[in-house]
Amino acid sequence: MPGDTRKLALIATKGELDMAYPPFILASTAVAMGYEVGMFFSFYGLHLLRKDLDCIKLSPIGNPAMPMPVPMPALATVLPGMESMATRMMKSQMGRKGIASLEELRTVCRQGGVRLIACDMTMNMFDLSYEDFIDGVEVGGAATFLDYACDADIQLFV
C-alpha cells in the first residue's frame, strides 16, 4: 500500500547455503517492494555477514532429499570432499538456472538500506568481531530485535 511503509523483521540463524537464501531473497524482495527491513543474524547465521561468502557451504550429510549424481549410501556423504562437491554442484546448477548468487542478493539488501544486526552474544561465543564482517553491520541483542520487531508487519525466523 503506497504511502504506508511496511516493515519486515527477520532472524537468520542458519549458515548452510540452502538456508542462507531465504533470508536474503525475502529481504531483497521486501526492499524492492518498498519495505523497511531489519535482519538479525544469530548463531550460524552470523556467517552470512562475513566479507567472503565462500565459507557458506552445502552439506550432504543427513540430507536424504539431496540429489546425487550417482546413487550412493548415506554413509558415503561423510567422505572428504563431499561437502565441496555438493556445494560446487548446487552453485553451478543455480548459475545455469538463472538464480542470483548470495552475494548479489546481499548487495541489494545493503544498497537498499537494510539494517544488518549481528547478535552480540553469539559473536562472543564464536570469537567473531566487526573485522570479520562487511561494513555497516550493527551489533545488538534480543531486546534490540524485540524493539525492532514489535511494530513490524512481518516477523520471520529462519
Dihedral pair phi/psi, residue 155, rounded to 5°: -125, 125
Which of 7, 19, 29, 158 forms a contact with another protein (CB under 8 A)? 29
Sequence-separated (6 or more) residues with CB below 8 Å from residue 2: 34
Say whether residue 146 binds another protein (CB under 8 A): no
Distance CA 92, CA 96 (A): 6
Quickly count: other Cβ atoms within 10 Å of residue 15's Cβ: 18
Q: Which stretch binds another protein (CB under 8 A): 22-30, 45-53, 64-72, 113-121?
A: 22-30
Q: Does 156 bind another protein (CB under 8 A)?
A: no
Strand order in the sheet with 137-140: 137-140, 115-119, 36-41, 7-12, 154-157
| DSSP assignment letter at 128 | -
The correct pick among 1, 75, 143, 150 for binding another protein (CB under 8 A) is 1
Q: Residues binding another protein: what is the number (CB under 8 A)?
A: 17
The binder of another protein chosen from 97, 131, 135, 150 (CB under 8 A) = 97
Q: Is 87 in the site for another protein (CB under 8 A)?
A: no
Q: Which is nearer to another protein, 85 or 99 (CB)?
A: 99
Cβ distance 8 to 27 under 8 Å?
yes
Which 116-145 residues touch another protein, going by CB under 8 A? none
Residue 33 touching another protein (CB under 8 A): yes
| Contact residues: another protein, CB under 8 A | 1-3, 6, 25, 28-29, 31-34, 97-100, 105, 108
